[in-house]
C-alpha cells in the first residue's frame, strides 16, 4: 500500500476488460487503472493481479507500478459507475496508467521495422506467463510505449486470468493446463535467438524461494476473501509449476517448431 494514496476523481471506464476497470485520478496527481472488489468477474481477479505483479517485480518483467489502495463506499456511490456495477468498498488493485501507449495489434506483429527497446522483456514475458499459466496474453494485454523513431518499450498488463482461470479454486489448481499456442508468445519467441535467451529468466524464476512465495500469498488483503485453504493450494501450485517450468518451456519451444 502506498501511504496516503486516495482517489479524488473518477475519470471514466477503461475501454476494455471483463472486470470493468476504471480510470481514477489520485491525490498524488497520477492516474491509475483500478480493479474493484466484486467486479463482474469476481474479486479473485484482484488476487491474481496482485500475486502476478509481486512475482513480476522479482523477475524484472515490465509492468506498471501498482498499489493496494483503499476506496471508500462514499467515493463509489458518488461515481458514475455506481448504478451500473456493484463494486464494494475496501482494498482495491490500482496500477499506474502509462501515457502514450498503444496496444500490440496484429498489424504490428506482422511488421519488421519496429524495434522493441526492452527486448529482454520478450523472454521474461514467456517465462513469466508459462510459470503462472497466464492463458490470456493476447494483443490487448501488451502495451507499446512510443519512444520515437519507430522504437517502442513493452509493458505487460492484465493478469486477471493467471493460473488458467480468473476464478480458480483449490480443485481447479490441481489440473491447470497452459495454452502453449498463443500468438503473442509465438511472436515474442520469433524475435529471440532461441532457447538460450530464456535461460536467465528461468534461473530467476527458479531462484524465488518458498519463503518469498509464502510471504506474498500471506500479504493478500484479508477483505479479498482468500481462505487459508485457497492460499495453501495456490502456494502448492506455484511451487509445482516452478519445478516443472523447464519442461513447460521445452514443450512451448517444440510447439513453435523452433527447437533452436
CATH code of the domain occupying 7-96: 3.30.200
Distance between CA atoms of 46 and 51, rounded to whole angstroms?
9
Task: Read off the pLDDT of residues 142-176 as tens digits, 9 standing for 90 and up.
Answer: 999 988 888 889 999 999 999 988 899 999 999 88
Mean pLDDT calculated for residue range 82-97 = 94
C-alpha cell at 60: 524484472
pLDDT attached to residue 191 = 87
Mean pLDDT calculated for residue range 209-221 = 98
| Percentage of residues in the chain having pLDDT higher than 90 | 74
C-alpha cell at 57: 517485480
Residue 40 in contact with residue 99, Cβ under 8 Å? no
pLDDT value at 100 more than 90: no
Domains of the chain, by residue range, sit at: 7-96, 101-256
| Percentage of residues in the chain having pLDDT higher than 70 | 94
pLDDT value at 50 more than 90: yes
pLDDT attached to residue 260 = 46
SS (H, E, C) the chain: CCCCCCEEEEEEECCCCCCCCEEEEECCCCEEEEEEECCCCCCHHHHHHHHHHHHHHHHCCCECCEEEEEECHHHHHHCCCCCCCCCEEEEEEEEECCCCEEECCHHHHHCCCCEECCCHHHHHHHHHHHHHCCCCCCHHHEEEEEEECCEEEEEECCCCCHHHCCCCCCCHHHHCCCCCCCHHHHHHHHCCCCHHHCHHHHHHHHHCCHHHHHHHHHCCCHHHCCCHHHHHHHHHHHHHHHHHHHHHHHHHHHHHCCCC
CA distances from 75 to 2, 81, 217 (A): 18, 11, 28
Mean pLDDT calculated for residue range 205-221 = 98
CATH topology of domain 101-256: 1.10.1070
pLDDT value at 109 more than 80: no
pLDDT attached to residue 111 = 63
pLDDT attached to residue 101 = 87
Amino acid at each position: 500500500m502506498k501511504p496516503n494514496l486516495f482517489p479524488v476523481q473518477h475519470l471514466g471506464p477503461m475501454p476494455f476488460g471483463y472486470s470493468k476497470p476504471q480510470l481514477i485520478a489520485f491525490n498524488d496527481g497520477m492516474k491509475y487503472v483500478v480493479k474493484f472488489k466484486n467486479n463482474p468477474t469476481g474479486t479473485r481477479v484482484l488476487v491474481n493481479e496482485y500475486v502476478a505483479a509481486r512475482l513480476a517485480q522479482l523477475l524484472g518483467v515490465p509492468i506498471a507500478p501498482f498499489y493496494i489502495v483503499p476506496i471508500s463506499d462514499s467515493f463509489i456511490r458518488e461515481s458514475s459507475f455506481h448504478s451500473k456495477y456493484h463494486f464494494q468498498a475496501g482494498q482495491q488493485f490500482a496500477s499506474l496508467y502509462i501515457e502514450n501507449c498503444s496496444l500490440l495489434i496484429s498489424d504490428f506483429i506482422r511488421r519488421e521495422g519496429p524495434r522493441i527497446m526492452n527486448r529482454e522483456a520478450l523472454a521474461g514475458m514467456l517465462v513469466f506467463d508459462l510459470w503462472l499459466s497466464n492463458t490470456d496474453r493476447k494483443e490487448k494485454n501488451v502495451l507499446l510505449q512510443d519512444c520515437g523513431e519507430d522504437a517502442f518499450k513493452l509493458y505487460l498488463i492484465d493478469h486477471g486470468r493467471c493460473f488458467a482461470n480468473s476464478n480458480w479454486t483449490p480443485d481447479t489448481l490441481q489440473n491447470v493446463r497452459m495454452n502453449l499456442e498463443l500468438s503473442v508468445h509465438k511472436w515474442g519467441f520469433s524475435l529471440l535467438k532461441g532457447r538460450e535467451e530464456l535461460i536467465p529468466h528461468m534461473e530467476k524464476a527458479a531462484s524465488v524461494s518458498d519463503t518469498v512465495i509464502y510471504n506474498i500469498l500471506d500479504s493478500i488483503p484479508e477483505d479479498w476473501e482468500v481462505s487459508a485453504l485457497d492460499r495453501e493450494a495456490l502456494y502448492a501450485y506455484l511451487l509445482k509449476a516452478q519445478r516443472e517450468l523447464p519442461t513447460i518451456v521445452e514443450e512451448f519451444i517444440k510447439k513453435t517448431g523452433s527447437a533452436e
